[in-house]
Amino acid sequence: MIISAILSLRYNIPRRASRILNPALNLLIKSSISSSGGPPTPAFHIPQDLSTIFEYLQLEPVIQNYRCCPQCFSLNGLTESVTTDQPHCQCHNDPNDHDPPCTQSLGKFIYSFEAHTQNTTNMKQKFIPTKNFIYQPFKNWLARFLQQAGIMEILHTSTIANSQRFPKM
- Residues ≥6 apart with Cβ < 8 Å to 125: 109, 110, 111, 112
Mean pLDDT of the chain: 77
d(CA 147, CA 27) in angstroms, rounded, equals 32
Q: Measured between alpha carbons, how far apart are the two ends of the chain, in Å?
A: 54
Beta carbons of 111 and 127 less than 8 angstroms apart: no
d(CA 96, CA 8) in angstroms, rounded, equals 53
Rounded to two decimals, the pTM is 0.50
**28 Cα distance to chain centroid:** 30
Write the pLDDT tens digit of every residue in 29-66: 878 877 777 666 566 667 778 888 888 887 778 888 88
d(CA 48, CA 169) in angstroms, rounded, equals 59
Question: Domain locations in the chain?
Answer: 64-135
d(CA 76, CA 88) in angstroms, rounded, equals 9
DSSP states of 18-69 as a string?
HHHHHHHHHHHHHHHHHHTT-SPPP-----SSHHHHHHHTT-S---EEEEE-
Write the pLDDT tens digit of every residue in 105-121: 888 888 777 655 555 56
pLDDT at 115: 58
